Structure 1
Amino acid sequence: MGATTSAILSRGQSIRFAVVTLLRGTPKISRAVVALRFTSAQSSTPFAEAEAALNRAPCYHCAMARLILFVSFAVSLTLAFAEPITPGRVNDLPATEQPAWQAYLERSQANAKADEAVVVAEVAANKLTNALRAPSGGDFKMHTKAGAAWFAGDEAKQLANAVLSYQTPSGGWSKHIGFSRGPRKPGMQWTSQNEPGQPAHYVATFDNGSTTEEMIFLANVWRATKRDDCKAAFIKGLNFILAAQFPNGGWPQVYPLEGGYHDDITFNDDAMTHILELLHAITSNEPAYAFLDESQRQKAAAAVAAGIRCVLKMQIVQDGKRTVWCAQHDALTLRPAAARKMEPATLSGLESAHILSFLMTITNPSPEIVAAVEGGLTWFERAKITGLRK
């Protein structure tokens, strides 16, 4: 499918694409039908070519297409390069908005320096030539089927020790850390994503469930063992999430800010949605978070409310009708934004389905939330594709 997409794009035509997910039933998704379709702003030829290619492709590629590609009936594949948040861009904002963003940038820079300073000091203290690269691993996923006995056991204890050691001074976690290799060594980077001496990359992030998954894991270990260090790390992570939230309610992919598309408000891989789900769980008095006090719950509730307001503002409106969301939105303008080459500024089916699913968990939703959900569901119904080969 990648070759087909490249061939179509190389012809200079405006392609629109996405995964169409049909949502049926409320208050939660009870059925999802995923299909693939390409359309062109200039002709129907690319659609026919892409559909024929899909029918010829091996089942594996068909499955990957259904999982990865996203159809958009109204957003053309246009170049919308990601812009980092810079002092210059902040100075172009209305005067009333500038102080909050300036303070945010200063806080981000201070946290970045604090994260780096610890590693620099450890390298010097241990007489190392360079920092050590953290071991690489897969995405950190919570053991959803694990019970209290597992979280109280030795395996969870050892894993918790490793997870705790990789929490950055600012309070977050990187991605793809090899926790199975044991705790972080003195002088070791917080991340496996860059070579020592190279610019820091994904030092702490919400990408691929990072930070939120570690926090959920530590909360469950605390629930089973009452370990104070797990409780303290969770609270530190919560403060990290609150510090990372933009003044307009969104969250970047990486914090402290790294630049590029990492500064965008990120729904890709459900980054912001995972944050909202965790904060909402905190406000819902789930037992794993019983150690949090009322002040912390109120801060989480305020962050959720601000985040939802931001989500509603970013919902893309076409011809006066609410549709869905892009995988990334510019942090300052809230407009759809592109990230990597295979992540253009389009309507994103998968991430939008998960946003709607989250919004449908809100008790006593406001009229604005109801309108957003109804608009999104209408778009999915209108955009559904049928008749493709299984």
Structure 2
Amino acid sequence: MIARTSLAVLTVGFGLALAGESRVGAEPVTQQRVAGLESSEQQAWLAYLKRSESLAKQDADALAAEVTAAGIAQAKRAPSGGDFKLSAKLGDPWFASPEAAELVGVVLSYQTPSGGWSKHTGYSHGPREPGMQWTSQNEPGSSAHYLATFDNRSTTEQLNFLAGVWQATGRQECADAFVKGLHYVLAAQYPNGGWPQVYPLEGDYHDSITFNDDAMTHVLELLHGVASSEPSYAFVTEADRQAAAAALERGFNCVRAMQINVEGQRTAWCAQHDALTLQPVAARAMEPATLASVESARLLKFLMGVPAPSPELQEVIEGGLAWLDRVQVTDVVKTKRDGKTVYVKDPASTDVYWARFYRLENSEPVFPGRDGVLYATFEEMAANNRLGYDFYSTIPGSIVKNGQKKWRKMLAKQAPR
């Protein structure tokens, strides 16, 4: 049987390898692995796999039909571009602007038949052409890559954009596409409450439950907005709102289950967790099986904004905040060396940082190199690798200080008198 993980707490049962030793890598979700689950769980997971395969075929068949109708030999590759990230918040007048109106047509054209969006798509080139892939991430004729994903804000950000335009203009096509996308989000949720990075499933680490780049956190934020009947989502039916609320609750339970417990203390989360065991797993060279401070801090920021949190959710938050407080780094300074950002040991420093990654079993900082090696110090890693990545961060600072203060004030107001 696959190792089971209680939905109460995840206890680390292995160490983190250093200096080139083997690490726990991500595994895809397959029928063979599902067969190792308890028999009571297999039906839900097999149904999930069948749904994923059906949607993948739907996407492929739709593109093949367009290619045939266009009379071309193979699909065209979508133009590449940057991340789709809104600068305006929901309710901003910009959503009623001509620029937003023009962008609607482009965004709608890149929604996959299954309901999601890819990443790094060149929206500035205009709407998708018939016979063109929905993704720029693979060569035509090869296996679809990031066809629809939650990576880099994809899908959740497009949905928020459509909701914002609907709120500002009442455009029905925006509401219709949002509902289709919401159903995609709900379909993508694993039976245990997590979400993969890519759906329909693609395999490899893309099947892992992913906090990297705040993927799952963005999904939870979206569902919370829908479940809370925020004005931008007022067109959502009561049935879909209830479905979003139920999915959100399952997501909270999964978040609680994946929070890593070390010697009886709740800590934080890995950037990726195995979809079936919920254990921390590695992905690419710069994404090791470690405690991820920045993603964990941003998740905690969202959780602290949930009104009337349950005692269980409060326990999760308290454990995460206490861990962030314990792992502050106060003996380094940020400087430049040969034009590159480096961090130098300085016991007299008053700066406060967090390492991006910490060892699972003892919360000591580790530094992944592009060479695939996990180093115990920044100096060792820098001596053997090209730099250009933030190995320390100040982002958790505002969550530990300002965010925590606001949260405790909210709890005090909600406490029975």
Same fold (TM over 0.5): yes
Does 264-273 or 368-377 show the bigger shift? Answer: 368-377
Q: Say which of 97, 121, 125 aligns to 1:153.
A: 97
TM-score, normalised to structure 2, is: 0.74
* Structure 2 partner of 1:363: 307
> What does residue 242 of structure 1 align with?
186
The one-letter code of the counterpart of 1:171 is: G
Residue in structure 1 matched with residue 39 of structure 2 by the alignment: 95
Of residues 196, 201, 206, the one that matches 2:140 is 196
CA RMSD of aligned residues (A): 1.3
Indicate the residue corresponding to 2:205 in structure 1: 261
Alignment of 1:97-136 (within 5 A): 97-136=41-80
TM-fit CA distance, 1:203: 0.3
Contact 2:138/2:144, CA 8 A, preserved across alignment: yes
Match of 1:318 in 2: 262
Which of 212, 229, 232 does residue 285 from structure 1 map onto?
229
Kept after mapping to 1: 8 A contact 2:91/2:167: no
Identity %: 62
* Match status 1:379 vs 2:323: yes
With the length of structure 1 as denominator, give the TM-score of the two structures. 0.79
Residue matched to 1:296: 240
Structure-2 residue corresponding to 1:231: 175
Contact 1:133 1:191 in 2 (8 A): yes
Could you tell which deviates more after superposition, 323-332 or 358-367? 358-367
Note if contact 1:75-1:347 (Cα within 8 Å) is conserved in structure 2: no
**Which runs of no fewer than 5 residues in structure 2 stay unpaired?**
1-14, 335-417
Residues 312-351 of structure 1: matches in 2 within 5 Å?
Answer: 312-351=256-295
Deviation at 1:76, TM superposition (A): 5.1
Query: Could you report, residue by residue, the CA deviation over 1:45-96 in whole angstroms, capped at 9, with x for unpaired residues?
Result: xxxxxxxxxxxxxxxxxxxxxxxxxxxxx85556011100000000110000
Q: Is this contact kept in 1: 2:16–2:23, CA < 8 A?
A: no
Match of 1:306 in 2: 250
What do residues 227-282 of structure 1 show as CA deviations (whole Å, max 9, x unaligned)?
11100000000000000000000000000000000000000000000000011011
CA distance in 1, matches of 2:332, 2:286: 23
Counterpart of 2:177 in structure 1: which amino acid? A
- Which amino acid in 1 is paired with 2:112? T
Structure 2 residue corresponding to 1:270, chosen from 200, 214, 237: 214
Distance change >3 Å, CA 176–CA 148, structure 1 → 2: same
CA contact (8 A) 2:151 2:197 kept: yes
CA distance in 1, matches of 2:93, 2:38: 54
The number of residue pairs the alignment matches comes to 317
Letter in 2 for 1:132: K
Q: Which amino acid aligns with 2:319?
A: G
Is the CA contact 1:282–1:300 (under 8 Å) kept in the aligned structure 2? yes
Q: Hey, what does 1:64 align to over in structure 2?
A: none
Counterpart Cα distance in 1 of 2:331 and 2:284: 31
**What secondary structure is seen at the aligned counterpart in 1 of 2:333?**
coil
- Bigger RCO (CA 8 Å, 6+ sep): 1
The AA in structure 1 aligned to 2:256 is L
1:288-336 Cα deviation digits (max 9, x unpaired)? 1111121111111000000000000000001111100000000000000
Q: Secondary structure at 1:203's aligned position in 2?
A: coil
Deviation, 1:389, is 1.6
How far 1:147 sits from its partner (Å)? 6.0
8 A contact 1:76–1:346 mirrored in 2: no
Deviations 1:83-127 (A, max 9, x none): 000000001100000000000000000000000111101111111
Q: Which runs of 4+ in 1 moved over 3 A?
A: 74-78, 145-149
